[in-house]
Amino acid sequence: MKLTFLGHAAWLLEENHTSLIFDPFLTGNPLASKTPDEVQPQYILLTHAHGDHLGDTIDIARKNDSLVVTTHEIAEMLSQEGVKTHSLHIGGKFPFDFGFVKAVEALHGSGIPGGHAVGFVVKFFDRFIYHSGDTGLFGDMKIIGEQYPLDIALLPIGGNYTMDIEDAAIAASWLNAKTVIPMHYNTFDLIKADPHAFVTLCNKIAPTSKVEVLKPSQNYTL
């Protein structure tokens, strides 16, 4: 399984002939490592509809006939744009060819009138990945960590709109993932953060997790 950081909260997950993208904000993303034409995902997982997550979803989905998995309200909006969707809601899980996607709580806005933001727990073949989406720290992350043997947790550390380094390190201590990878920082001035300070803090309070800091375009294979 290969996980590639596309910048901000956008990630490409690939295994054999299956590919999945989280929150494909590429056009206008100063850290984007690919253009929308360079990705051909079968699945797009969209945590919420703020511009820095919705990004190129419609364009990529139309070109590749990708299935967009997101919340009901955002799925309705995308269906009207001619995009193929599957809607989930908080706590809901559905099987796909590669495993399953479960929508989990995120403390954040949906980005459209009504609806919610979510995070995703994804079983991708034999691996478990948690993409928290944009979120503040919440105690039920402990349940996610107890319920699933997470291989990777992707967590925002930029603050202002989401958890900062301190809150994300507490999240890491609860999630107990084998590997934690920070995201959603340094894209804009408001979300500046030092990922190496995050590593230091995690080593102290979440010592069972290994932190990998990826630059956009870098990938992590497991």
Give the interface with Ni ion as residue ranges (CB under 5 A). Answer: 50, 134
Of 54 and 103, which CB lies nearer to Mn ion in the complex structure?
A: 54
Task: Give me the least distance between CB of 26 and Mn ion, in Å please.
Answer: 14
Q: Which of residues 115-134 bind Mn ion (CB under 5 A)?
A: 134
How many residues line the site for Mn ion (CB under 5 A)? 2
Three-state SS at 87: strand
Residue 105 interacts with Mn ion (CB under 5 A): yes or no: no
Instruction: Give the per-residue contact string, 51-90, with Mn ion (x = CB under 5 A; - = no).
Output: -x--------------------------------------
Task: Give me the least distance between CB of 134 and Mn ion, in Å please.
Answer: 4
Of 5 and 128, which CB lies nearer to Mn ion in the complex structure?
A: 5
User: What number of CA atoms fall less than 13 Å from residue 202's CA on the CB side?
Assistant: 30
CB atoms within 10 A of CB 49: 21
Task: Give me the least distance between CB of 137 and Ni ion, in Å please.
Answer: 15
Please give the full DSSP string across 41-70, using - where no structure is assigned: -SEEE-S--SHHHHTTHHHHHHHHTPEEEE
Q: 């009207």: which residue's tokens?
A: 80
Query: Using an 8 Å Cβ cutoff, are 206 and 172 in contact?
Result: yes
